Amino acid sequence: MSEPFIRVRELHQRFGDNHVLKGLNLDIHRGETLVLLGGSGAGKSVLLKHLPGLMCPAEGTVTVDGTEISCLNERELGPIRRKVGIMFQGGALFDFMSVGDNVAFPLRESGVTDEEEIGKRVTAALAIVKLDGQESKMPADLSGGMRKRVALARAVVDRPACVLYDEPHAGLDPVTADTIDHMIKCLQEDHGMTNVVVTHEMRSVFHIADRVIFLKDGKIHWEGTAKELRDTSDPELRAFVNGDSGIPWKTPG
């Protein structure tokens, strides 16, 4: 098998006494859609933030496309951030900027100055998320689903090899969430991107995941395909998949 695009080795992260990641190992392969599951506070977002170097490991290494990034400074991380785009939880758009300027932001940050080139790439990114011609709108004028799509356009405008999604379905109605899933799959199948998705939406997991990992106690507790997850006999995973807290329900009426 070819070298993984991202390799995580013996990753530890602590916040005071809170030892969140405890020697986690993970390979992310080129062109796959990997879904990260785990209970609240399991460390999914913390793991995601290590992948483009937004967080520095307490111990261990993260290697992206052959470059060990754990000890790089902000300037050295520039080329890595162009390879790994991130769609933040909640979208994190700049409310004072138009849609076009929000999507163009990573290009300008990475030093692209040719406005014609920026315009073309913003148009292409908005076309991928089916928001053609919306450049001049302001974020406040958009629905929650449209804001998420703008955030996705911003994550892919610099044509990264890999996109990280932190709860892309949070706060969306089921139909809009399904639209986001189609876009995630389109980026993989039509644009060859690697996707890493943190989500609690089990319906989405079964639609998009080539591989699923379940985080627990700071490590990978389980790994398999979406089908293996559906068929698992692991009681904790079954409860997670079925959204079953174990507290019995009274039958209504």
- Is the Cβ–Cβ distance between 69 and 21 less than 8 Å? no
- Evaluate whether 70 touches 62 at the Cβ level (below 8 Å): yes
Question: In the set 7, 9, 30, 45, which binds ligand ATP (CB under 6 A)?
Answer: 45
Is residue 58 a contact point for ligand ATP (CB under 6 A)?
no
List the structure tokens of 161. 């090899």
Is 14 among the residues that bind ligand ATP (CB under 6 A)?
Answer: no
Give me 86's structure tokens. 């991130």
Residues recorded for the chain: 253
Are 106 and 157 a contacting pair, CB within 8 Å?
yes
* Cβ contact 219:22 at 8 Å: yes
Instruction: Indicate whether 46 belongs to the interface with ligand ATP (CB under 6 A).
Output: yes
| 18 part of the interface to ligand ATP, by CB under 6 A | yes
From the list 42-50, 64-72, 221-229, 233-241, the region that binds ligand ATP by CB under 6 A is 42-50
Centre a 10 Å sphere on the Cβ of residue 197 and count the other Cβ atoms it contains: 28
Query: By CB under 6 A, which span of 39-47, 117-125, 128-136, 157-165 interacts with ligand ATP?
Result: 39-47
Nearer to ligand ATP, 89 or 123 (CB): 89
Is residue 243 involved in binding ligand ATP (CB under 6 A)? no
Instruction: Assess contact for 197 and 168: CB atoms under 8 A.
Output: yes
Does residue 23 touch ligand ATP according to CB under 6 A?
no
Map residue 186 onto helix, strand or coil.
helix
Say whether residue 42 binds ligand ATP (CB under 6 A): yes
Among 40, 73, 233, 242, binds ligand ATP (CB under 6 A): 40
- Under the criterion CB under 6 A, does residue 17 sit at the interface with ligand ATP? no
Which CB, 38 or 85, lies closer to ligand ATP?
A: 38
Alpha-carbon distance of 123 to 152, in angstroms, equals: 13
Contact residues toward ligand ATP (CB under 6 A) are 15, 18, 20, 38, 40-46
